Amino acid sequence: MKTVWRWLGLVGVAGVLLQLFFVARIATMLVIDPQSTAFERSEAWRVATEKGTLKWRQQWSPYDKISNNLKRAVIASEDDGFVNHDGIDWDALEKAWQKNAKAQERAARAPARNPAKPVKAPKVVGGSTISQQLAKNLFLSGERTFLRKGQEFVLTLLLEGILGKQRILEIYLNSVEWGEGVFGAEAAAQHYFRKTAAQLTGYEAARLAVMLPRPKYFEKLPNSSYVAGRAAVIVNRLGSAELP
């Protein structure tokens, strides 16, 4: 029994040390721009191993050098309550938990219907805010589990408490993926429109915002009717998107 408690104690200490490491890493981001994220590094490795080349476009742009059109478009598209919540959209999170519970129930019933068919692990729906997306991209893997989601939750609260909204949005816009090997607003503006991130028009910004959930997919279909239609909707919402 003592051995069990000793191991549990060691696991607890390791967990605390890991959180302190994250606190230190986030605190440095108050004054130092992160050069890459865990997601960027994993994508660079994937492309390098699959294609034998390292494709990476990224250039940091300070907050005031990124078009307000893009800031508003991303908030309107991804997280319209960004400036008002504490990092977690509780309503969206509740809906996500309900979907996850139903997925778990379906997975539990699946063996009874067809014992010979392998059961896939239920997909964990996130309901993620911009702050949560940044926490995941900066530090975590892409796996969808409740344990990883819990760590994302903790990291999100740390980001909000240490960095604040404006710095979170600045880092997010400079590191989010906008195509294979295309990271950040400056690289995206140059790649798609041959201009700087500061020069993006409202419609151009809206088109980039539409791409965020599936950037690699929409990179291949930049002129799709969905992108155009959704961008028009976001343009109409720019004026109501509040900036930090």
Radius of gyration of the chain, Cα coordinates, nearest whole angstrom: 20
Tell how far CA 39 is from the center of its chain: 9
Q: How far is CA 171 from CA 32, 89, 130, 236, in A?
A: 10, 20, 11, 25
pLDDT tens digits, residue range 161-205? 999 999 999 999 999 999 999 999 999 999 999 999 999 999 999
What's the rounded Cα separation, in Å, for the pair 67 and 131? 20
Classify residue 49 as exposed, middle or buried by CB count within 10 Å of its CB (0-12, 13-18, 19+).
exposed
pTM, entire model: 0.84
Check: CB of residue 66 under 8 Å from CB of residue 198. Answer: yes
Q: Domain-by-domain residue ranges, the chain? A: 17-80+164-240
pLDDT tens digits, residue range 127-158? 689 999 999 999 987 777 778 888 999 999 99
Domain 17-80+164-240 has CATH 1.10.3810.10: yes
Classify residue 241 as exposed, middle or buried by CB count within 10 Å of its CB (0-12, 13-18, 19+).
buried
